Homo-oligomer: A and B are copies of this chain.
Amino acid sequence: MLIDTYINLSYLVGAVAFVWGLRLLSSPDTARKGNILAGIGMGIAIVATLVAPLTGADNNYLWIFGGFVIGGFAGWIAAKKIQMTAMPQMVSVFNGLGGACATVLAMAELIKYYDGMMQMSLGQLSIVLVTLLIGAVSFTGSMLAFGKLDGFIKDKHVILPGHTIVNLVLLIAVLVLAVILIVQGQTAGIVMAVIFLVLALIYGFSFVAPIGGADMPVVISLLNSFTGLSAAAAGLIYGNQIMLVGGILVGAAGTILTVLMCEAMNRSLMNVIIGGFGSAGASSSATDGDQVAKVATITDASIQMFYANSVMFVPGYGLAVAQAQKVLKELDDLLENNGVDVKYAIHPVAGRMPGHMNVLLAEADVPYPKLLDLDDANAALKDTDTVVIVGANDVVNPAALDDPGSPIYGMPVLEVWNAKNVIVLKRSMSPGYAGIQNPLFFHDKNRMLFGDAKDSIQQLVQEVKDM
C-alpha cells in the first residue's frame, strides 16, 4: 500500500517535472534548469520503476543494469564527443533509438502473443500494433534524417520519381496489413507481424526520403513527436501513467514545435512533408563553382552577437543603401545593455564618398569614440568575438592581401577573418563596387545572412530582445 503510494507519487512528480521542465526549456533564461529538471524527473521515474513491487516477477536486475551501463555509456560518449555543429543529427539518432525501443517493446508483446503465452483484447492488440508502427517509422525516418543532415546521404540518392505516390501506396499497404492482423488475431502468426514491421520500417525511410536536406530539423521534430506518441502507446500497454503522460506531452509539444519551425521558415507543414520543394528552395548554402558559402539564420546571428563579449560592426555602402543606420544603432544599444562591447570599424573607402560612413553614423548618433579607423580596427579585430559586416564587400576582401592577381591587391583591408566569427549581411552573392568576387564569403568562419540590411537588422533586434 505505502510503497504503491510512493511509486505513484514518484510518477506524479516525474510527470510534473516533465511538464515544468519543458516549460522552463522554452525560455532562454531558464532552459538549462528546465533540461535538468526533466532529467531529474526521468531519474525519479526510472528509480520508481526499478523498486516497484511486481507480483511474481523475477526482476532480472543484472540484465537491466547491464543495459543501463552499455546504453548510458554510449549515449554519454556520443553526446560529449559530438561537434557543436553536428548536434541536430545527433538528436536525430537519439530519437531514432527511442523509436526503436518502442518497436522492440511491441515486438516482445507480439512474440508472447503469437506464442500463445498471452492473450490480448482487440483494443490491446491495436495499441501494440500502433506502437510498433509509429516506433518503426520514427526509427528509420530519424536515421535517414541523420544521414541527410550529416551529408553522406544526398537527396538525389533517395528520391524516387513520383515519390508521393510511392509513399501513399506504402502507407495504404501498412494500414491494410494492420487491419488484417487485428482481424485475424492470434491466427495471423509472427511472420505476418514481421512483414508488418519491415513494411513500417520501409515506410519510415520512404516518408523522409523526398524531404529536402534543409528541412531536416523540421522532420526531426516531427519524428520526435512520433516517438513521444509511441512511448505513450507503450504506456497504455503497460498501464503506466508516466509513460502515457510523458509520451503525450512530447507528442503535443513536438507537434506544435514542428508547426512553429515551419512558420519560422514561412512554410506549411504540408509543404515540407510533400517535399521536393525543400531541397530546391531554402537551400542551406550558396555556391560558386565548387565553393560553398554557409548561411546563417537570424537566430544563429543573434546568438553569436548576444553571447559575445565584443562585437564589431563593419558598415559599407549597403548600410547606406538600406538606410539601416538607425536600426543598427538600436541593435548596438541593445547589445551594450547586455554587456557586449560594440565598436564600428570604418574602412577609409567604405561607401561611395569620403566620409560616407561618418555621415550615416553621425545621423544615428553613434558616439565618435566608437568608430575605429583601419589600423585601430585591425588591431582590435584579433580580440573580437563577432564581426558583423553590414553591406560592405570590397573593404573586407582578403584577396587584397593574398591574391596578387586581384585588381585590389595591395589595398589595406579590414582583416575581419582574424575575429572568432564573421557574419555578412547582404542581399545576394553579387560583388561590390570593384566588381570582384570576395573569398571571405567562403571562409570557414563566415556565415552569410541574406536580405536587405535593414530588414535583417530589424529581425535581429527583435530576436535579441527576446533573449
Contact = CB atoms under 8 A, between A and B. Distances in A.
Contacts of A363: 365
A294 interface: no
A326 interface: yes
Interface in A315-349: 326
Contacts of A326: 326, 365
A365 B325 CA distance: 12
Contacts of A365: 326, 363
A316 to B, nearest CB: 21
* Interface size of A as a range: under 10
Interface in A362-384: 363, 365
A464 to B, nearest CB: 14
A361 to B, nearest CB: 14
A365 B363 CA distance: 9
By DSSP majority rule, is chain A's interface helix, strand, loop, or mixed? Answer: helix
A302 B366 CA distance: 29
Nearest to A462: B465
A439 B363 CA distance: 39
A457 to B, nearest CB: 14
A363 B363 CA distance: 7
Interface in A419-452: none
A326 B363 CA distance: 11
Interface in A147-193: none
A326 B365 CA distance: 10
A255 B203 CA distance: 49
A71 to B, nearest CB: 38
A424 to B, nearest CB: 27
A365 B365 CA distance: 12
A324 to B, nearest CB: 13
A365 B362 CA distance: 13
A278 B96 CA distance: 57
A363 B326 CA distance: 11
A326 B326 CA distance: 9
A453 to B, nearest CB: 17
Nearest to A363: B365
A258 B382 CA distance: 51
A419 to B, nearest CB: 30
A215 to B, nearest CB: 29
A353 B342 CA distance: 35
A461 B315 CA distance: 27
A336 to B, nearest CB: 15
A365 B323 CA distance: 12
A311 B326 CA distance: 23
Interface string A383-404: 0000000000000000000000
A249 to B, nearest CB: 16
A107 to B, nearest CB: 35
A365 B326 CA distance: 10
A111 B363 CA distance: 79
A95 to B, nearest CB: 29
Nearest to A330: B330
A363 B365 CA distance: 9
A365 B329 CA distance: 14
A363 to B, nearest CB: 8
A326 B333 CA distance: 13
Interface of A: 326, 363, 365
Q: Which 3 A-B pairs have the closest CB atoms?
A: A326-B365, A363-B365, A326-B326
3 contacts: A326-B326, A326-B365, A363-B365
